[in-house]
Amino acid sequence: QQQRRLISRQRFIQDFSQCLFEFVVQLLPTTEEMAVKEDVRKLLERLIRTIEPDSRLLSFGSSANGFSLKNSDMDLCCLIDSGERLSAADLVTMVGDLLERETKFHVKPLPHARIPIVKLNLDPSPALPFGIACDIGFENRLALENTRLLMCYASVDPARVRTMVLFLKVWSKRRKINSPYKGTLSSYGYVLLVIYFLMHVKTPPVLPNLQQMPPLRPISEEESHLNGYNIWFFDDIELLRQRWKSANTDTVAELLIDFFKFYSRDFAYNTAVASIRAGLLKKEDKGWATEQSDIGTSRERNRLCIEDPFETDFNVARCVTKDGLYTIRGEFMRASRILQSRPDRAILALAQLCE
Ligand code: ATP
Ligand code: MG
């Protein structure tokens, strides 16, 4: 009896891994979609150069980190290389006016946001059935660096890391727990949770810690720091692929099942900070013990704590509210339950997960 159960569980794990790969592959953007987006980037860059000739418009976020899904939004960052330049707020206003005049995009400049951006939307058309959503920010060099860091992690073990991340992105969107504006977590936050799990929870680890590896040559303070933050990490992916071979042989299905189990019952939400840079940290030690704001409406910032890999004084999950965290944990538990309950058809389990 027990033997039979074990065999059927093993078969489920195998099938579920296969299903995950197939599911994720059909969610990847087509080459056509990527080409259209690249054309849009070039067009916007050309227009912005009429105001700032020394500027470059670069992709970051999912379109540049290896975790992009069909119809995901475009995150663009404008870098200006000349010495003198306008404030981000002024640039947002000027670029907003320009794009309003010169393009078919619906334009919404947000010059006074924490990170000033211009929001662009293009209506759906036959060639682009979902339209395009795009944010342009200015001089956000840390975002370019964290995009590069995630890209490196995606390429260390693409079969497992990319599959897990892409699945979790779809899952969190379908389960409606992927919107910082509504008190849940951004895609960026979920990616960090996956990396934290693969690096600091699994033994042996699936991922190396690129921020703690010794550099190949001495690095000066100037090279390694940006705005006072240490942004150095081991980024020679070719070399890494030759040298790093994880001793962990779990399949992607096993990792995903453990991921849900870990975040539904083992992670110490009340006291812990997940840091991919430094492992498990304490809220108390970072001064992130849950604060109550004094305006009566006790809005808490640090229910869930995920340290940004470079901006270490920044909690990536600061938008997650008490209710949001309750919902997210409920979803981790639901997923864990579905995957533990001896489902016999992997494809049905997957469908139920993303219902
Ligand atoms: P999606 O496909 O859902 O848009 P994404 O990979 O683009 O996913 P986002 O959450 O949109 O992820 O984040 C895009 C980029 O913006 C991240 O790579 C990161 O550089 C930056 N970013 C987003 N949220 C935060 C945050 N809370 N703190 C710091 N940087 C963030
Ligand atoms: Mg994005």
CATH 1.10.1410.10 fits 157-207+246-353, yes or no: yes
Confidence of residue 291 (pLDDT cuts 50, 70, 90): low
| Choice from 150, 188, 194 to test ligand 1 binding pocket (greatest atom count within 8 A of CB) | 188
What percent of the chain has a predicted confidence (pLDDT) above 90?
Answer: 85
Instruction: State the span(s) of the chain assigned CATH 1.10.1410.10.
Output: 157-207+246-353
Distance 57 CA to ligand 1 centre (A): 17
- Residue 146 backbone dihedrals phi, psi, to 5 degrees: -70, -25
| Cβ–Cβ < 8 Å for 62, 69 | yes
Distance 284 CA to ligand 2 centre (A): 31
192 close to ligand 1 (CB < 6 Angstrom): no
Query: For 197-224, how does the pLDDT look when each residue is reduced to its tens digit (9 = 90+)?
Result: 999 999 999 999 999 999 999 999 999 9
Distance 150 CA to ligand 2 centre (A): 13
| Cβ–Cβ < 8 Å for 57, 136 | yes
| Choice from 27, 178, 186, 302 to test ligand 1 binding pocket (greatest atom count within 8 A of CB) | 186
Instruction: State the span(s) of the chain assigned CATH 3.30.460.10.
Output: 31-140
- In whole angstroms, give the CA distance from residue 33 to residue 142: 27
CATH 3.30.460.10 fits 31-140, yes or no: yes
Distance 132 CA to ligand 2 centre (A): 12
On the question of pLDDT at 57 being above 70, the answer is: yes
Give the atom of ligand 1 at the shortest distance from the alpha carbon of 67.
6
| Cβ–Cβ < 8 Å for 316, 186 | yes
Query: For 307-354, how does the pLDDT look when each residue is reduced to its tens digit (9 = 90+)?
Result: 999 999 999 999 999 999 999 999 999 999 999 887 778 999 999 999
DSSP per residue, 129-176: TT-EEEEEEES-HHHHHHHHHHHHHHHHSHHHHHHHHHHHHHHHHHTT
Structure tokens at 136: 């342009």
Length of the chain: 355
Tell me which DSSP letter residue 83 carries: S
